[in-house]
Amino acid sequence: MSLSDLLGAMIQSGMTPSSNQRMRNAFGGGSGGLLESLSGMLGKQQGGGLGDLISGMLGGGGRDLGGMFGGVLNQAGEMAGGKQNLALGGLGALAGALLGGGGKSVGGALGGGVMALLGAMAFGALQGTGQGKGEVPLGLLEPQTDADKRELEQHTELVLKAMINAAKSDGRIDEKEIHRIVGKLQEAGADANDQRFVLAQMQKPMETETLISAARGRAELGARIYAASLMAIEVDTVAEKNYLRELSSGLGLSQEVIRKIEHMAGIQPV
């Protein structure tokens, strides 16, 4: 499996009961949100995937599509030189899974969709804050070169590690949970090497400083790591809240950026 496949499989395993709802929130899962718009139009769709549907909706002059999330996609598309340069296919696969479609075969597309969603969250949270370079993050932006592809793979690995690291923040991942996640990975087609990689990450000591060092001076990456961490835990223990405060401080993200990300995920300020 590629790292994107593995990330998709981890998402399908359901790291926390709230993971899917937080992704729905980030998409704009409520009234007037992108998922509601997509759900309402699925029955009218004539061929093509959800990525094509998102692309068509964005190209239809709908500046207010999907509320805040639709606005982020429109702005990112303009900065990227056109919506065709955004990872709409991955977003469509993830949206489809959240709407109840998809399956094992879309694991890799789901991983790409998660990276695109996290990229959109980072892009939206950093706008107007003076942090970051004001660029569309890789993941939301389709890689254009081999160097871009390698960098996106590195970022995918960091996101995967960040999610597992967050899951360990309240002590450890118990054996029952490990077996559940490994079983889900097997169902998704993860081979023995993939399973060993995930097991090693679950069983090794916390590596918060490694994650912080990797994102130092890179606000877009730091924002994605923080957003990914919110997707991996319930944030209902003192240890988890302390971990998120330590992580956000180490990443150098302002309180404004943190609050925006938490708002997108639909959780109370940590």
pLDDT per position as a tens digit, 112-169: 999 999 999 999 999 999 998 889 999 999 999 999 999 999 999 999 999 999 999 9
For 123-260, list the strands marked E by DSSP: none
Q: Nearest 5°: phi and psi at 227?
A: -60, -40
Residues 205-228 have pLDDT tens digits of: 999 999 999 999 999 999 999 999
The closest of 113, 203, 122 to 167, measured between CA atoms, is 203
Identify whether the C-beta of residue 11 lies closer than 8 Å to the C-beta of residue 111.
Answer: yes
Per-domain residue ranges for the chain?
A: 3-265
Angle formed by the axes of helices 146-167 and 107-126, nearest 10°: 90
Q: Is the pLDDT of residue 177 over 90?
A: no
Q: Is the pLDDT of residue 12 over 50?
A: yes
Identify whether the C-beta of residue 158 lies closer than 8 Å to the C-beta of residue 211.
Answer: yes
Identify whether the C-beta of residue 58 lies closer than 8 Å to the C-beta of residue 73.
Answer: yes
What is the predicted pLDDT for the residue at 145?
A: 96
Q: Is the pLDDT of residue 42 over 70?
A: no
Identify whether the C-beta of residue 107 lies closer than 8 Å to the C-beta of residue 5.
Answer: yes
Identify whether the C-beta of residue 231 lies closer than 8 Å to the C-beta of residue 23.
Answer: yes
Q: Which span out of 82-91, 101-110, 151-160, 194-203 was modeled with the highest average pLDDT?
A: 151-160
Q: Nearest 5°: phi and psi at 228?
A: -65, -40
138 to 29, 46, 90, 106, 118: CA distances (angstroms)? 24, 30, 13, 20, 10
